[in-house]
Amino acid sequence: MIYHFKEVPIFYEVTGKGPVMVLLHGFLESSTMWKAIAPPLTKHFTVITIDLPGHGKSGVLSETHSMELMAQLLFSMLHHLKIETATLVGHSMGGYVALAFTELYQQHTAGLILLNSTTYKDNDNRKKNRDRALRYIKTQKDSIISMAISNLFTEKSRLQYASEIEQLKLEALSFPLKGITAAIKGMRDRKDRTQVLQNFQKKKWIICGDKDPIVPLEDSTRISEVTHTPIKILRSSHMSWMENTDKIVKILHFNE
């Protein structure tokens, strides 16, 4: 299905029955990342997957896809679908969007699950890396994408998931350059939302990987402590959805 936000086509799918759960993918991913996780959830939930702007089959909205802008898009789409409240599950950048949504529209978030994501803003080093990527991506799109995706995995998981990684790279290479740079700028400029998670009093979880090279385990455990959010630590890299599919499905049913 296509929803038009500011006249830009946004791809989404709705399946299943029950309370609404929105699955938000991360940077250089698309709704296809949920293809093994979404189907078992549809027995208990109305599952909505979306291609965030500049990713998958969705168009580009702006020079910068701020987390607030993507949250506004999601709110507008849910309103269009006459959905009042939804549990948001966000992988990495999708988690940043879920936090921005919760900050703006708290009463519309029924639950909040951060999957390999963080409430922290970028530190100086990370901001520098984003700026470097922005400088080089115009002339070296393929190698920057390839490196960015490889960096989400540990050395060991890179070998184990070699063909899946190739698939991810192939898909990401088809995303427009403007969409990729808009997301990089949005992530670089995002603010800290630890307080948002702390203030959120409904169902919430942090699901993290013990070897996540992007979101260090120490950050996840610290955020869990200060925000009083239960944590599930999986044996995985940044891509737990690929490495721990069944466990994640179980956790999302809130029965583990």
Q: What does the binding site for ligand MLT look like in residue numbers (CB under 6 A)?
A: 26-27, 92-93, 187, 214
Least Cβ distance, residue 117 to ligand MLT (angstroms): 8
DSSP secondary structure letter of residue 25: -
- Which of 61/93 has CB closer to ligand MLT? 93
Return phi, psi of residue 120, to 5°.
Answer: -75, 155
- As a whole number of angstroms, the distance between CA 165 and CA 161 comes to 6
Least Cβ distance, residue 92 to ligand MLT (angstroms): 3
Least Cβ distance, residue 79 to ligand MLT (angstroms): 25
Least Cβ distance, residue 187 to ligand MLT (angstroms): 5
Neighbours of 224 (CB within 10 A): 20
- As a whole number of angstroms, the distance between CA 169 and CA 142 comes to 9
- Which of 10/214 has CB closer to ligand MLT? 214
- Which of 10/93 has CB closer to ligand MLT? 93
> Which residues contact residue 24 at a Cβ distance below 8 angstroms, ignoring those fewer than 6 apart?
50, 52, 74, 88, 89, 90, 91, 93, 94, 95, 97, 98
Question: CA dihedral defined by 223, 226, 227, 231, rounded to 10 degrees?
Answer: 50
- As a whole number of angstroms, the distance between CA 26 and CA 237 comes to 14
- Which of 20/187 has CB closer to ligand MLT? 187
Using Cβ positions, the residue closest to ligand MLT within the complex turns out to be: 26
Tokens standing for residue 117: 């994501």
| Nearest CA among 86, 93, 78, 80 for reference residue 109 | 86
Least Cβ distance, residue 183 to ligand MLT (angstroms): 8
Least Cβ distance, residue 6 to ligand MLT (angstroms): 23
- Which of 60/93 has CB closer to ligand MLT? 93
125 exposure class (CB count in 10 Å sphere: 0-12, 13-18, 19+)? exposed
- As a whole number of angstroms, the distance between CA 245 and CA 54 comes to 26
The C-alpha R_g of the chain, in whole angstroms, comes to 17
- Which of 42/151 has CB closer to ligand MLT? 151
Least Cβ distance, residue 26 to ligand MLT (angstroms): 3
- Which of 88/214 has CB closer to ligand MLT? 214
